[in-house]
Amino acid sequence: MTGEGIEYRLWDFRKEDGSTRIRYLWDQTLMPEAAPGGKQPEGFRMGVEFDQDAINRALEEPGDRGQFELLPSRDVSGHGTAVAGIAAGSRTRNNSYGGVAYEAELLIVKLGVPDSMGFPRTTEIMRGVAYALRKAQELGLPLVINLSFGNNYGSHDGSSLLERYLDNASEIGRTVICVGSGNEGSAGGHLAGNVSEGGNIELAVAEYETSLNIQLWKNYSDVYRIYLRSPGGREQELPLSIEGGKYTLQAEQTEVLVYWGEPSPYAVAQEIYLEMIPIERNYINSGIWTIRIVPVTTVTGRYYLYLPSSAVRNEQTRFYRPTPQVTLTIPSTAAKVLTVGAYDTTYDSYVDFSGRGYADRERTVGVITSGLTKPDLVAPGVGVLAPNVYGGYATFTGTSFATPIVSGSAALLMEWGIVRGNDPFLYGEKVKAYLRKGARALRGEREYPNDRVGWGALCVRSSLPD
């Protein structure tokens, strides 16, 4: 699943004879009337699906214009093309580059844009996963789903709708779901603590920040008084009881919208959500904002704060004393997915941007229990060579590009087990167990598994059973 689509015309996604290796391409952003070469996929009321024949007809057109008229799906950012190329780029006489599983068939989903009231691509991902599962069952083939996508919204405990959905999807058919751990490890966007150790939290807000939201997650049984102090020094208390769960306060030239959440039918955590928006100017107040937490009734005393992902905020907007643990992005926090972090092959060591997992043995919010380790393992994620949309190759850095290395490796294991008949049950948690067992040690890591690299670095050769 490539959220930004794919440049299907590249030789990286073709066979020796020039025909495509893509079985289906579903572009959720297209309207049916704009794409005569495709149709709306059965069971879904959005986007356009192109089958292998439709893609080949487009490839046979002599020019870009004719190809685009038949199949107007494009990867504008290059992210999806790079990810697909790393996982399964072709190795043919016309193309010396090869992805990990270079003979695998491809199923591509370009995610739609969420509406203004929706969570970041949650619905679109769920539809894409459901589509992929359905197609794999129709084709009678094992399936590896690659999700090089994540965001920071949620309690990071496995209880969100998307996390639970992926856990359930992991048990359908012969499936493995690989998810990148995100690039928030050193971004300063997370802070956790206990009110018994002091509840003064300092947040640096950089200049020219147009808006900012803060999530504070806690156990519903804990009751805290929460105070917010703006850079000018004025402190205001957030009322404990708010009609309708919403409250607005003004702090200098910034309006702060406060939402007090409730537990959901699937999670015991409570969220207190603060959204900062500018008043009569373009930017919120920069400087040091302070959140002060005073316990009223303490059961666990824990709290967990998250900012939006570093991709959508200024680099200098961060907590002064951030917590590097549990900086995984969602949905890599789902228990049954294969969570992939990154390491640097030059130094053979963990890279600090890679999302770190669970080391908090006292974590009391949600469904994640003490002892669960994430990520599961790491793969090369610095300077990874991959195809770009212009027909050449470039290097890419991030867990988005480590993940398809593991996805391709999982596909190779499943080919060995299921397709070649060596182990018809080699899918799901069994693939995860084999890859964990085969993972090798990295420089600087003394104990395994750990919250930085999980069980270690990917090593497919050692992952095959004796």
Q: What is the pLDDT along the chain (466 residues), one digit of tens a residue?
A: 566 899 999 999 999 999 999 999 999 999 988 888 889 999 998 899 999 999 999 999 988 888 999 999 999 999 999 999 999 999 887 778 999 999 999 999 999 876 544 445 788 999 999 999 999 999 999 999 999 999 999 988 888 899 999 999 999 999 999 999 999 999 999 999 999 887 799 999 999 999 999 999 999 999 999 999 999 999 999 887 666 678 899 999 999 999 988 888 878 889 999 999 999 889 999 999 999 999 999 999 999 999 999 999 999 999 999 999 999 999 999 999 999 999 999 999 999 999 999 755 555 555 455 557 899 999 999 999 999 999 999 999 999 999 999 999 999 999 999 999 999 999 999 999 999 999 999 999 999 999 999 999 999 999 988 7
CATH of the domain spanning 190-319: 2.60.120.1290
CA distance 39 to 50: 7
Classify each residue of 259-294 as buried b or exposed e, where b means 16 or more C-beta atoms within 10 Å of its C-beta.
bbeeeeeebbbbbbbbebeeeeeeebbbeebbbbbe
What backbone phi and psi angles, to 5 degrees, belong to 394? -145, 170
| Tokens read off for 211 | 């808006």
| Tokens read off for 50 | 């192109």
Which of the four CATH numbers 3.40.50.300, 3.30.450.20, 3.40.50.1110, 3.40.50.200 does domain 11-185+330-463 have? 3.40.50.200
Domain ranges (residues) in the chain: 11-185+330-463, 190-319
| Tokens read off for 242 | 């708010």
Q: What is the pTM of this model?
A: 0.94
At 350 the three-state DSSP class reads strand
CA distance 232 to 287: 9
